Amino acid sequence: MKFKALTALSGVLAITAAGAVSADPDDDTLVINGEIEIVTKTAAPEHMEYIDEVMSGWHFRSDETQAFELDDFDNPGMLFVEQAMDVWDTVEGEKGKSCADCHEAVEDSMKGVRAVYPKYVESAGEVRTLEMQINDCRTNAMGAEAWKYDGDDITNMVALISSVSRGMPINVAIDGPAEMMWEQGKELYYTRTGQLELSCANCHEDSYGMMIRADHLSQGQINGFPAYRLKNAKLNSVHARFKGCVRDTRAETFAPGSPEFVALELYVASRGNGLSVEGPSVRN
C-alpha cells in the first residue's frame, strides 16, 4: 500500500497480534439521491509527495453513517441547508438587500463556487475562504453585520453554497498569487504542535486507515465540509475542526478565520483536488 514501509509493518503487526478489526478504508461508492455521483477516491494531485490516492472521509465511516448521505431526506445536514435557503431570500442590512437580490437562484449562481475556494480574489488582493466572501457581501453589499466566522449562520450558508456544487471536482488553485499562502499552509500542515508534538501529517498522512483508540483516522480531507457530526448534531466548519485538532495536540490553537487557518484550509483543500464536493457530509 501507500504507507511508508515501517509504518505499514507496525500496522500489520498490531492487527495480527490483536486479531482485531481491519481498519482499512472501504470500497463502497457514493451516489446521492440516485443521481449525483461523488468521486470519493481518485489519484492524488501532483503536488502530493507521499500519498498516491486521495479519499473522502466518507470511506472511513461505518455503513450506517455512510448511508445518511445517500438521500437528502436522510441527511440531517440538509435541514440546515434549508434554513440557509430561507436566509438567502431574506432582506437584511441597511441597503435592503437579500443574497438573492444580487445572486438570484443559488443553484445557478453558486454552482461551482465551493469547488474553487479558498482562492485568491483579485479585487480584494488576498486569498479568501467562502466565509470571508460571504461576510464581505454582508458588510459591503448588504450593509449588514458580519457573521461570526465559525458560527451557525455562516456555516449553514456555506453548506447551502456547497450543496449546489456536489459532484463537481475540487479544483483549488495553488499557483500564481495563491502560492505563497499555499506554502504557508503546507508548512503548518507538517509542523508538530503542542505538548504531544503532532502535526496534521502524523495522523492524516502517515497513519490514515489506522485506529487511535476508537477513532478511525481519515486523510483529513475537507471536500465534505461543512460536516454534520452525529456527535454534536450540527454542521461543523473547516476552521472549527482545525481548531479542535490543534487543541487535541495540547497546543495553543489559531483562531477561526485567522490567516494561519486560511492558509491551512487552502493547502488542505488542495490535497483534495479531484475529489468531488460532498458537503454537507455526515460524519461521527
Partner 1 sequence: MKRAFTAAIAATILAGAAMAETVAPGDVVYEDGAVAASLTGAAGSADEGATVMSSKSIGNCISCHQVTALNDAPFHGDVGPTLDGAGDRWTEAELRGIVANAKKTFDESMMPSFYKVEGFTRPGTAYTGKGIDAADITPLLSAEQIEDVVAFLVTLK
Half-sphere exposure of 218 (CA within 13 A, CB side): 23
User: Which among 99, 200, 203, 245 is annotated as catalytic?
Assistant: 245
What is the spatial distance between Cα 118 and Cα 197, in angstroms, rounded to a whole number? 27
Least Cα distance to 268 among 164, 150, 156, 170 occurs for 170
| Nearer of residues 7 and 33 to partner 1, judged by Cβ | 7
Contacts of 265 (CB under 8 A, 6+ apart): 118, 129, 185, 222, 238, 239, 242
> From the CB of 195, what's the least distance to partner 1, in Å?
5
Residue 245 designated active-site: yes
> From the CB of 273, what's the least distance to partner 1, in Å?
26
> From the CB of 60, what's the least distance to partner 1, in Å?
14
Contact by Cβ (8 Å): 280, 235 = yes
| Nearer of residues 95 and 192 to partner 1, judged by Cβ | 192
| Nearer of residues 43 and 212 to partner 1, judged by Cβ | 212
Q: Grid coordinates in use for 231?
A: 456527535
Q: Going residue by residue from 19 to 58, which x/- string records binding to partner 1, judged by CB under 8 A?
A: -x--x-----------------------------------
> From the CB of 45, what's the least distance to partner 1, in Å?
25
Report which DSSP code applies to 58: G
- Beta strand segments in 10-166, E: 30-32, 36-38, 41-43, 53-55, 119-121, 126-128
| Nearer of residues 95 and 250 to partner 1, judged by Cβ | 250
Contact by Cβ (8 Å): 229, 222 = no
189 to 248, contacts with partner 1 by CB under 8 A?
191-198, 202-203, 206-207, 210-214, 217, 243, 246-248
> From the CB of 244, what's the least distance to partner 1, in Å?
8
Contact by Cβ (8 Å): 254, 228 = no
Q: So which residues are the catalytic ones? A: 245
Site for partner 1, rule CB under 8 A: 10-11, 13-15, 17-18, 20, 23, 191-198, 202-203, 206-207, 210-214, 217, 243, 246-253
